Chain A
Amino acid sequence: MRFSDLRVLDFCWVGAGAFVTRLLADLGAEVIKVESHAHPDNLRLSGPHKSGARHLEGSGYFASRNTNKKSIALNMARPEARAIARRLARMCSVVTNNFRPGIMERWGLGYAELAAADPALIYLAMPMQGSSGPHQSYIGFGSTIAAISGLVEMSGSADRAPIGTGTHYPDHVPNPGHALVGLLAALFHRARTGEGQYIELAQLESTVNLLGPSIMRYSASGTLPRRNGNRRNGSAPCGVFPCAGDDVWCAIEIENDAGWRAMAEVLGRPQWMTDSRLDTLAGRSESIDAIEAKLAQETQRFTADELVLALQARGVASSVVETSREVMEDRQLKARGYWREIDHAEMGRITVNVPPFFATEEGRKREPAPPPLLGEQTREIATSLLGLSESECTRLINEQVLW
């Protein structure tokens, strides 16, 4: 199967869903994003916006999640638009959405209806908590899903409030990632058998799956995870340490006794580090608070970059705690062509990333296409795919159906 043979009708919007179909588009699929001036994707409205660009076309956040897609403007409040959507669905072999349960059905775009016409259809729904059960209509965001799942409670310092990732994390990796796994598996099954199917990814279930080990332990022994800052079992010291500059940090994890000795060398063998009681993990663990406090004094003498280079030269796991700026300027990511500068009709130069994997044989040759303007391909899709005449198309635009 070639991804370029795949046409996707995409009702996903905002966070988690938009990343699923962006990855499909990145892999070569033709993804038709259905959106509307009557009810724009929230990401078009949320910032940061490029100053000077029209508001709906200037969001950098929207851009990051919608590269390589096409956009058709369809005002789904109008029956004519829904009829067009149903016709489009018959021309696509994958239909996706992350609405609340019931919305697609209300539009006549539910799985049962569409699959009756095309049994090979693959249909991905990504409701918050599933399409059945007492909480099926509950609303949420990545941050609230993370809270319900247990991930927030586990993360943070023992003596402080729980904090999670500080983001809507489930929207960014676990839920789009899992949805892609399910979707690609269904595509594989279809490639071998011709059979389509309905896939449901409840965003809560998908996030809870990541807590498998802690859930199994709780069921075995009643033990609950403790918030433990940056500490990790079997490593000491392990955490973030301040470096020269304002709010600059370095993450260091000492995985074994050799790592401890190597770090002492890098830091110029300060007196306190030569204490033989600290030569073993057990010894270091015993006075871990004091050690990490002293270490924080030592690391401030170095810039984060020079410290990491010296530690890495001796095989010690470490990294600058990179801010957004440093991630964008990161020499490794640059060397691998992860960030791409592309031209956007309204925003000018924008920076987007490419998928975090590639076939070594092909490399990263494919240049991403910018995210579509709202309805950018409306006319193209309406005429070439749906076979509407130019004048019919103009009428539907003027009547705010293709809108």
Chain B
Amino acid sequence: MQSDSSAATDRAALAGIRVLDLADNAVAYASRLLADLGAEVIRIEPPHGHAIPRAAPLAVTEDGVASCAHAFWNANKKAITLDLGCADGRRLFGELVAKSDVVIETFAPGTLSARGIGYETMRDRNPGIILVSVTPYGQSGPCAKFRATDLTLLAAGGLLSLGGYPDTGPVAVAGEQGYLAAAIFGAVAALKALLEREGTNHGQWLDVSGQECIAFALEDAIPEWYLRRSIRRRTGDQAREAGTGVYPCRDGYISIVAGRLGTAKAFKTLVQWIAESGTPGGGTLLDERWQDFKFRQSPEGIAGFAEVFTRFCASRGKQELYREGQARQIAIAPVNSVADIVDDPQLRANGFFRSLHDGALKRDLTVPGPPYRLARTPASLRNAASASGAHNRAVYVDELGLSEGDLCALTSAGIV
């Protein structure tokens, strides 16, 4: 496992594109995606510090403590500090905008304008600038200024209502998926505008709503409501039909889809497998009624199948069920832990994981590779996340042409 060489940016899709990253939380992933594709991303943090470098999950070792959120969301980026609250800071920001292509920000709607650095001001400096504003509810509408977190955003976008146990309340998916959904579409929006700018010098201001991004994940729940007036609710640990769901096994859980559309044959193969294994009650699954889709969705079908299948799985491990099931063309999968996934034979065989050195922890950390493989312009993981202000000199002196003395003065004034 290695990080990719810095030469990778030469043949990158976004070579020569400069992005200013003002994003909070996991929305910082938006510009991370662009950085992987070769953009020069300059993360701008306030001089008095930013929350991400202290954000969970924290790795605690004998050598130190480090935020793995920061390490992951901000890899491949440069980092500078700048106080956008004062006139000198805003002037410097304007100079950066003049030399950049994209700005990604997550302030509450109206914040940038109130500080005199809104889209119009940016556009005056640079007509080609692309401003991507990623906020919980978008720039307009009655709830635009509502306060949100990942959890409340998942609630507002409807996804939270689909997760959780029927007998207790809704439970949200882990890992800040709400912010990440907004981040991914933020990157899509930036690229859309970059494409449309090609051959012109006309930028855009993109309004990305986190709530709207999450509402993309509601599956069939929307047509269930408008066509059938049925509200889909959480089913959690209870299977929605025989052969589909999460079931316990010897060393954890497996997830399976057998019987739904396109997998009817797999259900037949599955019950045959169970029957042949000699599992008590396995033979009953060969009864004709188990081939009836309606019966498999009835409470009796769901419970009857679960009883036998759980018995079958109890003596088998999740990786074994995965291999054996897949060999029979049944979509079984292990409910992996993070420890399992870093050992996954497929991901290892394809060299998916990379390695980045963490200075604070003094060790190499395993990092997932980019989510896609672009054959000609591969995304690459080149540099670990930078410490706050690590590139102040490189950006202010080398790029903007400030003198060392200017930088010193700005630093002591607390602007940089």
Q: How far is the CA of A319 from the CA of B170 in the complex (A)?
A: 13
Task: Scan A15-44; emit 1 where CB is below 8 A from any B CB, else 0.
Answer: 000010001000100000000000000100
Contact of B286 with A by CB under 8 A = no
Shortest Cβ gap from B354 to chain A (Å)? 11
In contact, A151 and B232 (Cβ under 8 angstroms): no
Give chain A nearest CB distance to B126 CB in angstroms. 16
Question: Are A141 and B59 CB-contacts (below 8 A) given A160-B237, A210-B177?
Answer: no
Asked if B191 is an interface residue, CB under 8 A from chain A, the answer is yes
A174 to B188, CA, bound (A): 12
**Is B188 touching A180 in the complex (CB atoms < 8 A)?**
yes
What are the residues of chain A within 8 A of B192 when measuring CB–CB? 3, 27, 184, 357
- Size class of the contact patch on chain A: 35 or more
Contact B158 A327 (CB under 8 A): yes
Q: Is B128 an interface residue (CB 8 A)?
A: no
Cα A350 to Cα B205 in complex, Å, equals 30
Classify the secondary structure of A's interface with B: mixed
Residue pair A151, B174 in contact (C-beta under 8 Å):
yes
Q: How far is the CB of A246 from chain B (nearest CB, A)?
A: 11
* B335 at interface, CB cutoff 8 A: yes
Q: Is A249 a contact partner of B326 (Cβ separation < 8 A)?
A: no
Q: Beyond A147-B334, A155-B163, is A197–B377 a contact (Cβ under 8 Å)?
A: yes
Q: Which residue of A lies closest to B350 (CB)?
A: A133
Residues 252-278 of chain A, each 1 if its beta carbon lies under 8 Å from chain B, else 0 = 110100000000000000000000000
Contacting residue for A232 out of B149, B180, B230, CB 8 A: B149
Q: A144-B255, A213-B68 are in contact. List 13 more A-B contacts (CB 8 A).
A: A60-B222, A156-B171, A179-B372, A197-B376, A201-B371, A208-B347, A212-B367, A215-B341, A215-B342, A224-B338, A249-B155, A338-B212, A360-B204
Q: Are B163 and A164 in contact (CB under 8 A)?
A: yes
Contact B220 A238 (CB under 8 A): no
Question: Which B residues touch A180, using CB under 8 A?
Answer: 188, 191
Chain A CB within 8 A of B294 CB: no
CB <8 Å contact, A161 and B248: yes
User: How many whole Å from A251's CB to the nearest CB in chain B?
Assistant: 4
Closest to A232 in B: B151
Candidates B149, B340, B367; contact of A253 at CB < 8 Å: B149
Question: For the complex, is B19 an interface residue (Cβ under 8 Å from A)?
Answer: no
> How many Å from the CB of B88 to the closest CB on chain A?
29
B160 interfacial contact with A, CB 8 Å:
yes
Inter-chain contact total with CB atoms closer than 8 Å: 520
Q: Are B257 and A141 in contact (CB under 8 A)?
A: yes
Q: Does B246 contact A (CB under 8 A)?
A: yes
Name the one of B139, B196, B213, B335 contacting A162, with C-beta atoms under 8 angstroms: B335
Which B182-200 residues have C-beta < 8 A from chain A? 184-189, 191-196, 198-199
In angstroms, Cα B261 to Cα A49, docked, is 14
Contacts of B154 in A (CB 8 A): 251
Given A204-B347, A213-B72, are A141 and B331 neighbors across the interface (CB < 8 Å)? yes
Report yes or no: A322 in contact with B157, Cβ–Cβ below 8 A. yes
Query: How many whole Å from A153's CB to the nearest CB in chain B?
Result: 5
Nearest CB of A to B407, in Å: 33
Bound state CA distance, A252 and B156, in angstroms? 11
Q: Let me know if B207 and A357 touch, CB within 8 A.
A: yes
- Within the assembled complex, what's the spacing in Å between the Cα atoms of A50 and B220? 13
| From A129, A133, A317, contact of B147 by CB (8 A) | A317
Interface string of B212-247 (1 = CB under 8 A from A): 111111111111111110111111110000000010
Interface-located stretch among A90-98, A165-173, A392-400 = A165-173
Is there an interface contact between A150 and B226, defined as CB atoms closer than 8 Å?
Answer: no
Listed residue (B56, B152, B214, B334) with the most chain A CB atoms within 10 angstroms of its CB: B152
Whether B372 and A181, one on each chain, are in contact in the complex, defined by CB atoms closer than 8 angstroms, is yes
Q: Which residues of A contact B361 (CB under 8 A)?
A: 220
Q: Shortest CB–CB separation between residue A53 and chain B, in angstroms?
A: 10
Inter-subunit contact A331/B208 (CB<8 Å)? no
Say yes or no: is A187 at the interface (Cβ < 8 Å to chain B).
Answer: yes
> What is the number of residues of chain B that contact chain A, defined by CB distance less than 8 Å?
153
What 1/0 mask marks residues of chain A from 182 to 222 whose CB sits below 8 Å from any chain B CB?
10111111011001111111101110111111111111110
How far in angstroms is the closest Cβ of chain A from B7?
A: 17
How long is the Cα–Cα vector from A228 to B174 in the complex, in angstroms? Answer: 8
B24: Cβ under 8 A from any A Cβ: no
Q: How far is the CB of A123 from chain B (nearest CB, A)?
A: 9
| CB of A282 within 8 Å of the partner chain | no
Q: Check A353 for interface membership: any CB of B closer than 8 A.
A: yes
Least distance between A281 CB and chain B CB atoms (Å): 14
- What is the bound-complex CA distance between A289 and B302, given in angstroms? 33
Question: B173 to chain A: which residues have CB within 8 Å?
Answer: 151, 155, 164-165, 169
Query: Across the interface, do B335 and A216 meet the contact criterion of CB distance under 8 Å?
Result: no
Asked if B254 lies at the interface with its beta carbon under 8 angstroms from chain A, I say yes
Taking CB atoms, residues of chain B closer than 8 Å to A156 are: 165, 171, 236-237
Are A220 and B358 in touch, CB under 8 angstroms? yes
- Whether the pair A166, B336 counts as a contact (CB closer than 8 A) is no
Contact of B206 among A166, A327, A358 (CB under 8 A): A358
- Interchain CB contact (< 8 A) of A216 among B72, B163, B260, B379: B72
CB distance from B230 to the nearest CB of A (A): 8
> Chain A, 213-246, contact with B by CB distance < 8 Å: what is the 0/1 string?
1111111110111011110111100111110000
Cβ contact within 8 Å between B61 and A184: no
- CB pair B368–A205 under 8 Å, yes or no, is yes
A341, B1: Cα distance in complex, Å: 51
In the bound complex, residues from chain B placing their C-beta under 8 Å from that of A232 are 56, 149-151
Q: A143 on the interface (CB 8 Å rule)?
A: yes
Whether, in the assembled complex, A384 has its beta carbon less than 8 Å from a beta carbon of chain B, the answer is: no
In the complex with contacts A60-B222, A174-B180, A214-B338, A333-B346 CB distance below 8 A: no
